[in-house]
Amino acid sequence: MDLFRTRDHVPDFDVYVGAYRERSAATRARCRAELDVPYGSGEFERLDLFFPEGEVREAPVHLFIHGGYWRMFDKSDFSFVADTVVGAGGVAAILNYSLMPAVRMETVVRQVRAAAAWLQERAAAFGGDPQNLTISGHSAGGHLCAFLLDTDSPVRPRGALMLSGIYELAPLQRSFLQPEIGITDEEVHRFSPLRLAYQPSGPAILMAGERETAPFHEQGQAMAATLRRDGVKAAFHSIPGANHMSIVLDLGDSGTAPGQALASLMKQEA
């Protein structure tokens, strides 16, 4: 089996995708939101903002970056993450970016950095605190979080939660993914987070599900060590019973380990 092909290891993959969309639709129906807010001029350079009840003033701002191996899913599939954020009194920003192979990794990274900078610059206009930006991401989104923590990042998040991330791209060139998006040697060199340098920032929590394959645990542990090398307080946790699909669904439930970590990160209890 391909250790990176999620369908090989999560038989009810499509059930989880349906749950993402069902819970996200419920979140959009329930929460006050501004949808499809542009952070740039490109077709996919949009984000959805979700707000807590009542007056919003100097609220923490949280940016979530979805996964899908950089080539699938949409921000609308992950609105449910906002449930935990607004429940903790924060403003949630759920991000879209252009998908590979229509664009290359360089474009995706640029868009993620542009979105984070946009949020920080405009936070006060929608009741957020520009000095209290935290980030999270799942799978490819965990990978993309690294580019908001490295020395070239335009922002310095107060904390990060990185779920089931891919931090070394070279093994993907030998996976099912290569015929789909064709990761180049240059992209491996430039965009493997384990090869980057990081700036000291807030704490970073890295997680993988107990039922995920070995690379997600090995790379998560290596990424935590790389961040610690550069002065970031970072720790890796294996989440009992979780798989690659369930761990992000849990992010929208403050009673789970990922949800608790997200709420604590925003409150700076992590």
- Number of domains making up the chain: 1
The per-residue pLDDT string of the chain (270 residues; one tens digit each, 9 = 90 and over) reads: 899 999 999 999 999 999 999 999 999 999 999 999 999 999 999 999 999 998 899 999 999 999 999 999 999 999 999 999 999 999 999 999 999 999 999 999 999 999 999 999 999 999 999 999 999 999 999 999 999 999 999 999 999 999 999 999 999 999 999 999 999 999 999 999 999 999 998 999 999 999 999 999 999 999 999 999 999 999 999 999 999 999 999 999 999 999 999 999 988 744
Instruction: For tokens 């405009």, name the residue.
Output: 122
Pair 225, 147: CB distance under 8 Å: no
Q: What is the pLDDT at residue 244?
A: 98
Distance from first CA to last CA of the chain, Å, rounded?
36
Q: What is the pLDDT at residue 268?
A: 73
Specify whether the backbone of 119 is left (phi greater than 0), alpha (psi in -120 to 50) or beta.
Answer: alpha
In a domain, 138, yes or no: yes
The DSSP call for residue 246 is H
- Domain with 163 in it: 6-266
Pair 190, 220: CB distance under 8 Å: no
In a domain, 128, yes or no: yes
d(CA 159, CA 177): 30
Cβ atoms < 10 Å from Cβ of 195: 14
In a domain, 97, yes or no: yes
Residue 213, Cα to own-chain centre: how many angstroms? Answer: 19
In a domain, 197, yes or no: yes
In a domain, 1, yes or no: no
In a domain, 98, yes or no: yes
In a domain, 15, yes or no: yes
In a domain, 218, yes or no: yes
pTM for the structure as a whole: 0.97
Q: What is the pLDDT at residue 1?
A: 84
Q: What is the pLDDT at residue 270?
A: 40
Return the CATH number at 180: 3.40.50.1820
